[in-house]
Structure 1
Amino acid sequence: MVSSSSTPAAFVTGAANGIGEAVVARFLAGGYRVAMVDLDADRLRAAREKADPAGERTIEAVADVTDEQSVRAAISATVEAFGRLDAAHNNAGITSSGPNTHELELSAWQRTLDVDLTGVWLCMKHQLPVMLEQGSGAIVNTASIAGHIGYRNAAAYAAAKHGVVGLTKTAAIEYAPQGIRVNAVSPGPVQSDMLEASFERRGAAVRDWYYASSPTGRFASLEDIAHAVHWLASAEASFITGHCLSVDGGWIAQ
């Protein structure tokens, strides 16, 4: 039986760096307790010590979002520690860019879909029963602008993120009567280690093109995305479900 402790609890995957780490900080600032979930145990420990030095408002759970048993254990640990689950940010993901569609290796295609789409679904599969028992909850998935438009040299990534958008909308309809909201954020380019690594692989010309293509002339900060996630999970967005919020500086409005 889920406890009715009054302090809200959040569950964040990909919490050891980047968007996930920023979202953890925003949830903590908003008064939540947070389960920080990541595959990299060392980075996760460092991120937790930075976010919550006293270790009083967070737990860490090392988990692989592509493994159902691992996901189930992480969510069980969250409920055991906090007694409830009010918000979930299913954020863990990998980028995939490179050859044209016909040149993709099956292994690369499958790995991207396993992490970026199946991983989101597995988390939702085990978060939703907790929220159903409570009669409330908010899930925010990380999609991408690549989930709304075609994205050259990123067939697997675009397919996975389009899938996240469809999954989000479908679950929103299914669970709205039970008081559960399901939304997504769709970031454009975000200034992060992941983006910089992509530019290093693809070259300065690609970096320059991305900057030139941004209507605002800049990329999103990690905090830009974190504020959007926190808002979608909050009571201020209580009548918003099934929505994919583009946080892209107008990128796909062009």
Structure 2
Amino acid sequence: MSASNADLRPVAFVTGAANGIGEAVVSRFLAGGYRVAMVDLDAERLTETRHRHDPGGERTIEIVADVSDEDSVENAVTTTVNAFGRMDAAHNNAGITSSGPRTHELTRKAWDRTLEVDLTGVWLCMKFQISVMLEQGSGAVINTASIAGHVGYPGGTAYAAAKHGVVGLTRSAAIEYAPTGIRVNAVSPGPVQSDMMAASLARRGPAVRDWYYNNSPTGRFATLEDVAHAVHWLASPEASFITGHCLSVDGGWTAQ
């Protein structure tokens, strides 16, 4: 069910919305009174997630899209505006991990795919989101970076390169659009309790899990809600003078 374009409730666009951080962010935006465009490549899981958070389908729409495909992203943004009339916040969260091989062992295919999704996908989303926000004269973009966007990540060269790129993209765009009423920020999560992390740890073994815990100043992983609250706050009027910032949600990891 599409909401009326006359509806004054704010609108959020969330990629990677079917699970993990994206799902938690959808839930937080809904709790904050937003209407939400839920964007993901996994159609079945996206529907299941929407039914959990908006059973009546009154405040959300599902959009199946591949963030690495320009036409798919453009269609997702257009669909959102056609349904809701505007876009007040965008969380560019969809991503994949690439860990294990050392730099010289990486295949070109793995390198290209990681950057296509984790960096180019963020840029493509911003390209079309910002065009909408420029017409409105306002908007907040929040990208998902990582602590791997600020420090080295042995065994995850492609992922670290992509996330460092997201940080640079965020800061550069923030400067470009600051005079227009558009803010661009990022969150940089540390290890997060998620399906993606669980799969990575299962693949890499208990020693890696123990290493993460032993190197966290707080001795724990972030919850999905820890990250979602940060995203929601960066989108809110309370953060109206914050742009070009990468908010670490890492329990002090990068402060070491």
> One fold, TM greater than 0.5?
yes
Counterpart of 1:222 in structure 2 is 224
1:21 to 19, 23, 36: 23
How far off is 1:188 after superposition?
A: 0.1
Counterpart of 2:101 in structure 1 is 99
Residue 89 of structure 1 contacts residue 139 of structure 1 at CA under 8 Å; is this kept in 2?
Answer: yes
Q: Does 1:111 align with 2:113?
A: yes
Counterpart of 1:149 in structure 2 is 151
The residue type equivalent to 1:199 in the other structure is: L
Provide runs of 4+ in structure 1 moved above 2 Å: none
- The gaps in structure 2 that reach 5 residues or longer are none
How far off is 1:165 after superposition?
A: 0.2
Counterpart of 2:176 in structure 1 is 174
Counterpart of 2:163 in structure 1 is 161
Q: Does 1:198 align with 2:225?
A: no
Residue 191 of structure 1 contacts residue 222 of structure 1 at CA under 8 Å; is this kept in 2?
Answer: yes
> Aligned with 1:185: secondary structure?
strand
Q: Does 1:122 align with 2:124?
A: yes
How far off is 1:99 after superposition?
A: 1.3
Counterpart of 1:80 in structure 2 is 82
Residue 4 of structure 1 contacts residue 84 of structure 1 at CA under 8 Å; is this kept in 2?
Answer: no
Give the TM-score normalised by the residue count of structure 2: 0.98
How far off is 1:6 after superposition?
A: 1.7
How many Å separate the matches in 1 of 2:29 and 2:167? 23
How many Å separate the matches in 1 of 2:206 and 2:122? 32
The residue type equivalent to 2:223 in the other structure is: S
Count of equivalent residues:
252
Q: C-alpha root-mean-square deviation of aligned residues, in Å?
A: 0.7
Residue 5 of structure 1 contacts residue 84 of structure 1 at CA under 8 Å; is this kept in 2?
Answer: no
The residue type equivalent to 2:214 in the other structure is: A
How many Å separate the matches in 2 of 1:115 and 1:224? 24
Give the TM-score normalised by the residue count of structure 1: 0.98
Q: Percent identity at matched positions?
A: 78
Counterpart of 2:213 in structure 1 is 211
The residue type equivalent to 1:100 in the other structure is: R
- The gaps in structure 1 that reach 5 residues or longer are none
The residue type equivalent to 1:111 in the other structure is: R
How many Å separate the matches in 2 of 1:220 and 1:77? 33
Residue 33 of structure 1 contacts residue 58 of structure 1 at CA under 8 Å; is this kept in 2?
Answer: yes
How far off is 1:45 after superposition?
A: 0.4
How far off is 1:252 after superposition?
A: 0.8
- Residue correspondence of structure 1 range 125-136 to structure 2 within 5 A: 125-136=127-138
Counterpart of 1:49 in structure 2 is 51
How far off is 1:5 after superposition?
A: 4.2
> Aligned with 2:200: secondary structure?
helix
Counterpart of 1:236 in structure 2 is 238
